[in-house]
Amino acid sequence: MLVGVDEAGRGPVLGPLVIAACGVPPEDYDLLIEAGVKDSKDLSSKRRDELEAWFFSQSETKGWVASVVTCSPEQIDLAMLDDGLNWLEVRGFSEAISELSCRENVQILADACDVNRQRFTDRICERIDGWPWKNSAMKSEHKADLHHPIVGMASILAKQERDRQIEQLKEDTNLDLGSGYPSDPKTKAALAHLIVQSGIHNEVRWGWATVRRFWETNRTGDLPVRGQLRTKQQSLFKNDDARI
């Protein structure tokens, strides 16, 4: 089985980081190329929808496999206060791989999220259930999603899941959130409704510099910190979580 692993949503100030792993038998690899699978960033939303549906339709008859792991903004913030985003991704990549149904004859290729590709690989392998698997190996490459369709397919699955969660957040807040990236004007405008004096919405990444700058410019008092109680607990969006 040839397996690719990639993430979507590392940089946004809103919503989750999503990691996907997917695998196909070696004899089916050319089908990914023929279908036009590539990095999700190089595909339209419509084309990503089509390729995701195509992948899962093939999975029903060809034994293709996939898994998706979601890291919430709260998990991201707490990781930033602890061992950092790279370690969160190490744990997420290893979890996504461990959730696949295949356990032998597996060749894994990950899009490296660390400047040191081998270190990234080693850290993931240390956390994969039962690794090393029989006749299996793993390596990481920078920009693997651009050069390898199996990693491109993983990037599509991760992007699709993140987009669904952002769409749900738009419905829940009745706001046009844009892409969720700090440079997006729509996202910037939405922050005024998500970062209020009484607290910060749970789907915002509280630890991002964008949030700190907005708070310092537009709000008063200390910036709320995940996992730390505020002097006066208040509710936001009908959420009574004392961590706000």
Query: 43-78 pLDDT, tens per residue?
Result: 999 999 999 999 999 999 999 999 999 999 999 999
Structure confidence at residue 240 as a pLDDT band (50, 70, 90):
very low
**Dist CA 157 CA 163 (whole Å):** 10
Q: Where are the domains of the chain?
A: 2-167
| Alpha helical stretches, state H, 68-137 | 73-81, 85-98, 117-125
User: CA-to-CA distance for 16 and 166, rounded, in angstroms?
Assistant: 8
Distance CA 14, CA 146 (A): 25
How far apart CA 168 and CA 134 sit, in angstroms, is: 41
Peptide bond into 132 cis (omega under 30): yes
Neighbours of 162 (CB within 10 A): 24
Segment 83-87 mean pLDDT: 94
At CA 36, angle to CA 34 and CA 37, rounded to 5?
A: 110
Query: How much is the pLDDT for 242?
Result: 32
Strands (E), 25-118: 65-71, 107-111
- How far is Cα 129 from Cα 132, in angstroms, rounded to an integer? 9
Going from the C-alpha of 167 to that of each of 21, 23, 42, 177, the distances in angstroms are 22, 27, 20, 9
Q: Is the pLDDT of residue 244 over 80?
A: no
Tell the residue number behind the tokens 């894994």, with chain if given.
Answer: 108
- Whether the pLDDT of residue 13 is over 60: the answer is yes
For the segment 83-98, the average pLDDT, to the nearest whole number, is: 96
pLDDT: which is higher, 80 or 237: 80
In terms of phi and psi (left: phi > 0; alpha: psi -120 to 50; beta: otherwise), the region of 15 is: left
How does strand 17-24 pair with strand 65-71?
antiparallel
Whether domain 2-167 has CATH 3.40.50.620: no
Residues of the chain with pLDDT > 70, as a percent, come to: 94
pLDDT band at 237 (very low <50, low <70, confident <90, very high): very low
